[in-house]
Structure 1
Amino acid sequence: MEGSEQRTVRNELSGELTGQAVQVGTVYGGIHLAGPGARPAERPWQLPPVGGLVGRDSELARLERLRKRAAREGRPALGVITGLGGVGKTVLATAWLHTLRSACPDGQLYADLGARSPAGAPATSEVLGWFLNGLGIPPERVPATAAERVALYRTLTAERRLALLLDDAVSAAQVRPLLPAGRSVVAVTSRWRLSGLSLDGGHLLDLEALDTDAAVELLATTLVDGRVEAEWAEARRLVRLCARLPLAVRVAGARLAARPRRSIAVMVRDLAEERDRLAGLGLHGDHDVRAALDMSYRALPERAARLYRLLGLHPGPEFGRAAAAAALGAPDPADAEDAIDMLHDAHLLTEVSDGRYRFHDLVRLHAVERAGSEDDEARRAARRRIWDTYLATATRAEEILDPHHRTLVRGYGAGPVVAEDFGGAEPVVLAWLETELQNLLAVLRAAGSAGEPSLAWQLADALRPFFLRRKHHDARRAAYREGLAAARACGAVEAEFRMLVSGGLGELDTDAPEVALEMFDQAARLCAESGDELGLARTFNYRGLACHRLGRLADAAALFARAAVECPRHGDERAGGLARHNQGEVALAAGRAGEAAAHATAALDTLTAQRDPYNAARATMLLGRARLADGRLAEAETALDSALASLRGMTADWEVARALAALAELAERQRRFGLARDRCREALAVCAALRLPAAAADELRARLDRLDRLAGPAG
């Protein structure tokens, strides 16, 4: 050591004598200093004890892969475990770090970063002080400023292998100064998605609820008296009511443990009532699901908190940005994105697909509770805005799918009406309707029971083109029953006519032609009583369809013939074209293929002129089937191929299946058995996707069995 001078110094900030200081000019070799105030290096063991960990093997494996990769690369391992309050983040992190005693021999550090604390998060410099104390620095020698503490902390951890748990973090900025140097292993837990820590080498692990089997196993570890084994089915129901959230399952188990004579079935019964479920998942003065959710809720900015409350009024399990914007009263879906992102980052919303979100089951109940803090008028207005969004979007879908289906007047509330923008693409429209069907039905039911019957029948009416294309028989029947009751409650005669006709068509599709005919007859009586001559003319078509299905071909032919004359006479050329199509179907069923082809050609001309591509494709398919019956196979193939291409483009799946069935018959008659078998299989797959009754595909299955024998195993 050259140019060195030793002198006694005082701590500049405290004024206290701290020991010896050495001023060094040039240093050769290693130096080890000790003074009267130094403490030997300590190995802290601060991690809290770990509770029972169940059902997290895959998550532990992911964290271990992270640690081993970081060790090979000579850098710290940073696992960031995020998720809903009560999902078990701290238990997982603690269990993982407790397994690393040999890999992290220099000790364990722990800090609760205070996201749940009523007093708020501790200052970073305060946490650094705790860590420095744990690493052997006496309180009186901890530097005063945060920057000096960070520098000393990193110096002390540079050559150590520690395990650190930074529990319940608020932000990435809070965590960064606490990350050690060297090759330590760090687990961070948070209710917020700390994606910023990925820039620091963090591995983000979003923790979900347990699966049902694991949740039952967790219940059994909490309730060790044999009740789980004795009431296995009820135990599974119980954990599902707890939404498989570990905290809720543990609380339910603890409540049962305190009541050894209470059966699991009794608790299931008590929790089945949604309005009481959160209250039933708490322990006085201890763990409480509602309290856990309250903490996350209180941390939200006001706009996000308001959206959370108002989304509790949403009637269905999932929703998109348009519904969220409507809840807030924003005119554009983009206006809600910041608030949605905040709820998503807080794990109060789960993104199920691009732009679609859902509540965890217990979070939804909490949001419903919080919605009660809004005044009655605000709740009613928000609920109506949400309903109007679905009505407006379904009406836009109706106009795209069937521009010829005259839309009745729609009545909306006072707020801004937000509707999805489809850009006119039918596949996009149908995909939206498939995705939102359960929400649409929930709105329909809720509106009817909440004294808004006009909205209920309007929504049922808007769904007509969708149900014609995609069937959904149970949903269709439910929608039109609700819609019919709503129309009658309003005294809306035209709406009642629509509900009877649409509901009757649904009954036809479910092989209930007697019910359908009665509904069509009711519709005809309404028209006669109100003097609606065009409506009455249209019922000839509908009643003919029911008679055709009942095997009354002569009655059906007579009714279709009247419709073919009366509908154009009263101004509906398109309905006249449909009547000619239906006449062709009757003629084909009666074995008059030439007559069927003539009707199909006339229908095709009319429907093409009326710019109805869907029904024009159906008429083309009828022409192909008539030519097939007449033995004109080349003409049949041309027509059927054309119809199939058009119907595929419109994703009209039921009609696609019918066209494939006709093409299968054609291929069989051409002795192209392998192609015929492929067509049959594809048609059956479409029928299965549509969830049609088994009888609807019986003929296809019989044909496929025959083709399997004819084509042989090689096809």
Structure 2
Amino acid sequence: MTDSVRNVVVGRVVGNVVQAGSATVIPPEARPTAVAGLPPPAVFVGRENELARLTAALEPGGSEAVLVWSVGGLPGVGKTALAVCAARQAVAAGWFPGGVVMTNLRGYDQANQRLTASTALAGLLGALGVADEHIPPEVEDRARLWRSLLADRERMLVVADNVSDPDQVVPLLPGDSRHQVLITSRHRMAGLDHTRLLDLDVLDVPDAVRMLAAVLDISNPDDTRAADNPVECERVAQLCGGLPLAVRVAAALLVADPERSVADLAEALADGRHRLRELNFDGSLAVRAAFDLSYAHLDPDQARLLRLTALDPGPDVGLDTIAAIADTDRTTALRLIRRLRAAHLVQPGQSADRWRMHDLVKLYAAEKAAEDPDHDRTIVRMLDHYLATVTAAGDSHGEVRVGTEAVRAVDAERANLVPVIDLAHTAGHPGHVVALTRALTMYFDLRKLWTEWISTHELALSAARGAGDREAEATLLVKLGLAHGQLLRTEVAMACFRAALPLFRRLGDRVGFAEALNRLGVMFRHTGRSRWAMACHTWARDLFREAGDPKGQLGALHNMAVLHRRLRDLDQAAALHLECLVLCRELGPLLEGRVLDQLGVTYREMGRVSEAIECHRRNLRITEAVADPHGNALTMATLAVTYRVADRLTEAVSCHLEALRTFRAFGSLPSVGQVLKELGATYREMGRDDDAVVCWAEALRVFEALPAVSAGAVADRTRRDLAALTAEVRTPPAASRPGPAPGSPHPTAPG
């Protein structure tokens, strides 16, 4: 270049430099930018805390360590709606003068429809005004150009929607945290650096109802269906599981049919077999379609585990059960379930190593599972696993191994026990219905789950009869009678025992016959027919002796002792109790404790109060050692009465109240009523007649609420005692109860 030729360039240089003295280079026409690219707002309800947290995080001056906020959650939970709402608020506040760009990476579409990072960068560069011909072909070069342009811009927000894995979004990240990135994903972006995670849960019922009402109101302000039908709207929200997409579909169905009632929609959704089919609006809004995209993103092993786990009918499922259902080892099951957790298709359950699914995800996965050729074999594996778990909790004498890991394993599955038996019934496995129910009897007895006991035994009884299994039928009748007896349904219990007797006789089962006979004797005792009761117990004892059954013999002798005590033959009662203790040496501590407690009652009535207290205390040590809270409460209640007889009234009240707390926690209403009655008697001894009135009034309400023939007599006695005491102290039962003396326990303290 000579001194006479000097380029004077005005404008941006594009292409070759022209060496021609003064030259004016006219660049291509500038491409407009598109940095206000948020979609129209969707109906947004609730999420106040999440929205406030996310919006505040976008404010200038935040943590330099956080470049990305990742909003995660299951399909249809409202991730995009939250991200867009937060972005709008941040932009409106002036926090991003450089603008906002949004790209949908379509990470869960079919593979050929997903945006690669390279394609997404081309769109973002175009949004900043870069012409197509100036966008480099390689993703690395595009990322460098993108970061260079951002470095020269004022603060900017990038929203990346539907990201399926970190590789899709890493090239899109700015070079510094001055700019911010919001991403939404069905997966947890735990592997993305400088990222803070925000997992989104479903809406609670009130917010879901508000969303339903908002859509109806926007569509037609005169539509009053939501306001007029709050209960039905709550039902729809519950059936949608609070999933915003499902609620939006339900609202669209109502908007499209102004004559349709909310109750009709709720009824249509109530059938779980067809709920996903109903949650579909013209194919454009559909819950199943959203789930399809996530399901297609799983590898075969993950998809299989999702399908099979959905077959468990409980509210959540343990890892050991998942491994058994999938016929795999625990380590593999945990690895796969964690991948499903990362995809927000399962969530942690109520305790460690337990997992749950959203109701609609579970319905979807169960539909898929029904298509598996080994569907029935999977159910059998699950039933076998539950049967093994329950069976392991018992010992060779048919008693629960209280305080062991085996019992804790059954405790963990408590909410699943009845649904699993129901599943065995509906799936056509009567043998498992019967086996599971019989194995669970001892556990139901330990935890005093009378309602569950009765419902499962009625189902198993039907299954046994249908299968022609007379032995199971007879045994289940006895167990069913036991549960009814515990609820003071004496006549129902007696009918069960009487129905079992001829079955055992035809089977030639002398032990079973003796068991039914012994239980029938207890009901005779409860109804005041002592002669019949003694005949039953004596006959049962002889049959058990002949059969060499020490546990059965113990039960009959124990009942004979209690009956002798009722007949005031106290020496004979004590002798029989001591004979029972000899048998207990080979039968375990639980049975020994029960005998000791009743021996203590007999000693108390004999005036041997110190020996009675020692018997009760020995049983307390046993129930504490084996972690039997209900048995402990029974002994506390008995010890309380013995303390009252010994004039140790403060200790008596303390024992009454402790027993009352436990019985209330177990829902053992007959025991609650009885303890309240005895507590009132103790308060009378202390001169606290007002508190006694309160206790007896509450006891009367409990007894009157019991649907039992035998409870009527107890209620009548309590009513008479209460009336007499009320007249004496001239304090009506409905009066405000006085406060207790300072430092003294109040009868309602357990709550």
Q: TM-score range by the shorter chain?
A: 0.7 to 0.9
Letter in 2 for 1:185: Q
Match of 1:173 among 167, 192, 204: 167
Letter in 2 for 1:491: G
How many residue pairs end up in the alignment? Answer: 664
Match of 2:76 among 83, 86, 89: 86
**Counterpart check, 1:195 vs 2:190:** yes
Kept after mapping to 1: 8 A contact 2:34/2:101: no
Partner of 1:712: 741
Partner of 1:637: 613
Counterpart CA distance in 1 for 2:466 and 2:70 is: 56
**Counterpart check, 1:560 vs 2:560:** no
Residue 657 (structure 1) shift: 1.7
Q: Secondary structure at the match of 1:173?
A: helix
Partner of 2:46: 55
**Counterpart check, 1:106 vs 2:98:** yes
Residue 217 (structure 1) shift: 0.5
Cα displacement string for residues 584-618 of structure 1 (whole angstroms, at most 9, x for unaligned residues): 2223333444443332222122112x232211111
Residue 259 (structure 1) shift: 1.4
Partner of 2:728: none
Alignment of 1:7-46 (within 5 A): 18=15, 36=27, 44-46=35-37
Counterpart CA distance in 2 for 1:132 and 1:527 is: 85
Match of 2:199 among 177, 202, 206: 206
Match of 2:483 among 499, 503, 506: 506
Counterpart CA distance in 2 for 1:298 and 1:634 is: 73
Counterpart CA distance in 2 for 1:638 and 1:435 is: 35
Kept after mapping to 2: 8 A contact 1:76/1:183: no
Partner of 1:318: 316
Q: Secondary structure at the match of 2:293?
A: helix
**Counterpart check, 1:627 vs 2:603:** yes
Letter in 2 for 1:78: V
Residue 222 (structure 1) shift: 0.7
- Out of 54-63 and 264-273, give the one that drifted further: 264-273
Cα displacement string for residues 342-369 of structure 1 (whole angstroms, at most 9, x for unaligned residues): 3222222222132222221111221232
Cα displacement string for residues 54-92 of structure 1 (whole angstroms, at most 9, x for unaligned residues): 010011133245445x83444545322111111101001
Counterpart CA distance in 2 for 1:575 and 1:182 is: 77
Distance 1:674 1:164, change over 3 A: farther
Residue 37 (structure 1) shift: 6.7
Residue 561 (structure 1) shift: 3.0
Cα displacement string for residues 245-283 of structure 1 (whole angstroms, at most 9, x for unaligned residues): 111111111121111122212222222222222122112
Letter in 2 for 1:496: E
Kept after mapping to 2: 8 A contact 1:573/1:606: yes
Counterpart CA distance in 1 for 2:569 and 2:250 is: 71
Counterpart CA distance in 2 for 1:624 and 1:49 is: 78
Alignment of 1:330-369 (within 5 A): 330=328, 332-352=329-349, 353-369=351-367
What's the TM-score, normalizing by structure 2? 0.82
Kept after mapping to 2: 8 A contact 1:192/1:345: yes
Counterpart CA distance in 1 for 2:177 and 2:257 is: 51
Match of 2:284 among 272, 286, 304: 286
Partner of 1:30: none
Partner of 2:707: none
Kept after mapping to 2: 8 A contact 1:19/1:36: no
**Counterpart check, 1:96 vs 2:86:** yes
- Out of 472-481 and 523-532, give the one that drifted further: 523-532
Letter in 2 for 1:51: A
Match of 1:222 among 215, 224, 235: 215
Partner of 1:184: 179
Identity of aligned residues (%): 32
Partner of 2:265: 267
Partner of 2:737: none
Partner of 1:417: none
Q: Secondary structure at the match of 1:348?
A: coil
Distance 1:221 1:355, change over 3 A: same
Residue 700 (structure 1) shift: 1.4
Alignment of 1:452-531 (within 5 A): 452-531=429-508
Partner of 1:146: 139
Q: Secondary structure at the match of 2:344?
A: coil
Distance 1:668 1:156, change over 3 A: farther
Counterpart CA distance in 2 for 1:638 and 1:64 is: 67
Partner of 1:678: 654
Kept after mapping to 2: 8 A contact 1:165/1:188: yes
Kept after mapping to 2: 8 A contact 1:326/1:386: yes
Q: Secondary structure at the match of 1:99?
A: helix
Distance 1:600 1:337, change over 3 A: same
Partner of 2:156: 162
- Out of 518-527 and 461-470, give the one that drifted further: 518-527
Counterpart CA distance in 2 for 1:156 and 1:596 is: 96
Could you tell me which runs of 5 or more consecutive residues in structure 2 were left unpaired when the two chains were aligned: 1-5, 19-24, 218-222, 689-739, 745-751
Residue 438 (structure 1) shift: 4.4
Letter in 2 for 1:220: A
Distance 1:624 1:7, change over 3 A: farther
Q: Secondary structure at the match of 2:311?
A: coil
Residue 670 (structure 1) shift: 4.7
Could you tell me which runs of 5 or more consecutive residues in structure 1 were left unpaired when the two chains were aligned: 1-5, 9-15, 22-33, 408-423
- Out of 235-244 and 92-101, give the one that drifted further: 235-244
Distance 1:142 1:631, change over 3 A: farther
Kept after mapping to 2: 8 A contact 1:66/1:77: no
Structure 1 vs Structure 2 CA RMSD: 2.9
Letter in 2 for 1:47: L
Kept after mapping to 1: 8 A contact 2:389/2:409: no
Partner of 1:687: 663
- Out of 641-650 and 464-473, give the one that drifted further: 641-650
Alignment of 1:411-426 (within 5 A): 426=403
Counterpart CA distance in 2 for 1:384 and 1:557 is: 46
Q: Secondary structure at the match of 2:285?
A: coil
**Counterpart check, 1:616 vs 2:616:** no
- Out of 635-644 and 445-454, give the one that drifted further: 445-454
Kept after mapping to 2: 8 A contact 1:326/1:389: yes
Kept after mapping to 1: 8 A contact 2:67/2:177: no
Counterpart CA distance in 2 for 1:405 and 1:664 is: 30
Q: Secondary structure at the match of 2:98?
A: coil
What's the TM-score, normalizing by structure 1? 0.86
Q: Secondary structure at the match of 2:184?
A: strand
Cα displacement string for residues 87-107 of structure 1 (whole angstroms, at most 9, x for unaligned residues): 101001110111111122221
Partner of 2:693: none
**Counterpart check, 1:659 vs 2:640:** no
Counterpart CA distance in 2 for 1:276 and 1:440 is: 25
Counterpart CA distance in 2 for 1:172 and 1:551 is: 77
Counterpart CA distance in 2 for 1:262 and 1:41 is: 48
Match of 2:671 among 696, 711, 714: 696
Letter in 2 for 1:455: H
Q: Secondary structure at the match of 2:451?
A: helix
